[in-house]
Structure 1
Amino acid sequence: MAATSSFELTPNRYVGCNQPCFVIAEIGQNHCGSIDLAMRMIKLAAELNCDCVKFQKSYLNAKFTRSALQKPYSSPHSFGATYGEHKAALEFSEEQFVTLQKYAFNEGIAFTASAMDKKALEFLCKINVPFIKIGSGDCNNWPLLKQTAEKCNKPIVLSTGMQDFTVVKQAYELIAPLNHRLCVLHCVSSYPTPDNDVHLNVIKHYSNAFPSSVIGYSGHENGIEISLAAVAIGAKVLERHFTLDKRMKGTDQKCSLEPNEFKQLITSIRRIETAMGTQTKARRESEMECYRKLGKSIVTAKTIEKGTTLNDEHLDVKVSQPPGIEAQHLYTLIGRKTKNNLDKECPIQYSDLE
């Protein structure tokens, strides 16, 4: 059973059945802690016709244990000596979030964030983001999912990286009875994701398993081809990380798309959507020139006298000028009588038959 759901994800923008793919530019923490850089990225995403920019909101003491925050962090992508210092350097304050939200509104693009803990969820609801994103790391966080579904009264977009289907199904069964406006994203949380770990067919599985939800894809692979394939097989929401330069510091930069790639992604998505069309197979107007030139008709295989009862030996199929009866009707003419004399290779018209 294919997914048939649709709902309003952001003001006047619906997602799901018969709707264009909703494209999220995941800025995440690729802003490197700079609000000026974040604003530049929002502006560019709007110019590229992305539907939404997304950040991440955490309150570190609510998300991490003290020991996790105190752990030394010596990665080349580190912004601090400990993991806590690193994360703190990348975390915007509430005031900065509101500033970015207003800036996005003025640029004409939707703004939201992943709620990485309960306090972050409360803050995002308070500033009235259009929908709540739940990241893969919280797909099995039942208290957070329950609070989001019960108390926020907003659509939910759920990523499912690092989980198996049993957990994803449990998450769905927890959320769906409480909030029907749910989008489930197939996701693999490796950065970048190897092609053989993507498994786009999970999108089809989700569509069958969760027909009351909108299904999408959050990609971390290199390039845009796999994301385009995801749209072609039914992803109605697509999330990709966005960066100004993949060489910048940060663990997500390498698997992100630069502006020229995002532009190509969105242009290609809209082209694919146009090409997908409908399930109705018909002769198209653009084919008529070729059809008039090369379409085949039923013609006489030999000279036929008036009153002849037609059989296979009397008929052939060829390109003819002028055209005759279309080739697919050949067997319906067997047993019909001619009411005119017909020369060899004469295109047969219904007016030639009794």
Structure 2
Amino acid sequence: MSVRIGRSLIGPGNPVYVIGEIGLNHNGDVEIAKRLIDVAVESGAQAVKFQKRTPEIATPEHMRDVLRETPWGTMTYLEYRHRVEFGEAEYLEIASYAMRAGVDWFASPWDVPSVAFLEGLDVVAHKVASASITDLELLDALAATGKPIILSTGMSTIEEIDRAVDRLDRDRLVLMHATSSYPMPEHEANLRMIQTLGSRYPGVPIGYSGHERGLQISLAAVALGAVAVERHITLDRAMWGSDQAASLEPQGFDHLVRDIRIIGDAMGDGVKRVFPGEEAPRAKLRRVPA
């Protein structure tokens, strides 16, 4: 089964849906966000994703007054959350820019008011962050939108994934295998979970959201059947921010999308045939005809 998001169908037999996860790597700067949209578009990705929070709700209470050193000085964690959060004006500018660039955009809402905020901007889909998979109130609000939902499964037990899937419409659901280590060591990738999720939730497209360094694990995920791939992107991994080190710079993301497309072309349909390029070697080298 395939799920339509914006301009694309996500599911077996369709081009892998590649999402450039901008998240908070824009550091509260709309111009950086636009440059990251350009990175995604120029690489051939179909979508970019942001994060949307209501800081007073989404910031854990025990973290609110913790002091943090930032490029804008020392501030509390709650003040930092406000500093990097985009409001309506910024997202309208981003939405317009993404539309003109020909790429889907959506976000991970971290609380119920953020769902309403994003619905007001008519996003094409919603993404559930791994940290939110147990927030049943949030899942119910997302299900009520009727929009496609992409659900990441990092830091979750299989029972928690079951509960989340049961709250959502499987006909509009894409599951993303993920491990929420930043950056993720390769021995925690557990890529066989792509097949496990596919068997457990038949008909639901299964993708991969990666937080590793490099490209190999994401490419292996595609070879194992992932129909969508999400990776964080950045202009420079040395930039300030907690997700930058696990992100791909423009050249790396470009190579990732290029290689995903090559693998997609190479997978074929599993039907054995003699290809045109084999005809001449067959005539020249086969001594005993069939």
TM-score (norm 1): 0.79
Provide the secondary structure at the position in 1 that maps to 2:116: helix
8 Å CA contact retained: 2:56, 2:78:
no
Q: What CA distance in whole angstroms lies between the structure 1 residues aligned with 2:287 and 2:97? A: 61
Matched with 1:155 is 148
Could you tell me how far 1:79 is from its partner in structure 2? 6.5
1:127-156 CA-to-partner distances (Å, cap 9, x unmatched) read: 10000011001011111111111x211000
Contact residue 217 and residue 237 of structure 1 kept, 8 A: yes
Aligned partner of 1:53 among 35, 40, 48: 48
Identity of aligned residues (%): 36
Give secondary structure in 2 for the equivalent of 1:189.
coil
**Cα offsets for 1:283-302 (capped at 9, x unmatched):** 222112221222131xxxxx
Q: Which runs of 5+ in 1 are unaligned?
A: 298-324, 327-354
Q: Aligned-pair RMSD on alpha carbons?
A: 1.5
Task: Tell whether the 8 Å contact from 1:183 to 1:216 is kept in structure 2 after alignment.
Answer: yes
Partners of 2:71 and 2:183 in 1: CA distance: 15
* Residue matched to 1:291: 282
Residue type of the partner of 1:102? Answer: S
Whether 2:23 is the aligned partner of 1:32: answer no
Structure with more of its chain in helix, by fraction: 2
Correspondence for 1:137: 131
Describe the shift of the 1:289–1:171 C-alpha distance in structure 2 as closer, same or farther (beyond 3 A): same
Q: CA separation in 2, counterparts of 1:65 and 1:253?
A: 22
Matched, 1:108 2:93: no
Could you tell me which residue of structure 2 aligns to residue 245 of structure 1? Answer: 236
Correspondence for 1:211: 202
SS in 1 for 2:247: coil
Q: Which aligned segments of 4 or more residues in structure 1 are displaced greater than 6 angstroms?
A: 76-79
**Where does residue 186 of structure 1 map in the other structure?**
177
Structure 1, residues 106-130: CA drift from partner, whole Å, max 9, x if none?
1111111111111111111111000
**In 2, are the aligned partners of 1:188 and 1:219 still within 8 Å (CA)?**
yes
Q: Which has the higher contact order (CA 8 A, sep 6+)?
A: 2
Q: Give the letter for the 1:69 counterpart.
A: R
CA contact (8 A) 1:79 1:89 kept: no
Normalised by the length of structure 2, the TM-score is: 0.96
Q: Which has the larger radius of gyration?
A: 1
The alignment covers a number of residue pairs equal to: 290
Q: Distance in 2 between matches of 1:262 and 1:33?
A: 22
Name structure 2 gaps, 5 residues minimum: none
1:78–1:234 distance in 2 versus 1, CA, 3 Å: farther
The CA distance in 2 between the partners of 1:71 and 1:24, in whole Å, is: 32
- Counterpart Cα distance in 2 of 1:207 and 1:247: 37
For 2:202 and 2:287, locate their aligned partners in 1 and report how far apart those are by CA, in whole Å. Answer: 44
Q: Distance in 2 between matches of 1:79 and 1:165?
A: 41
| Alpha-carbon shift at residue 68 of structure 1 (Å) | 2.3
- Paired residue for 2:118? 124
Equivalent-residue separation in structure 2 for 1:80 and 1:32 (angstroms): 15
Partners of 2:247 and 2:36 in 1: how far apart? 13
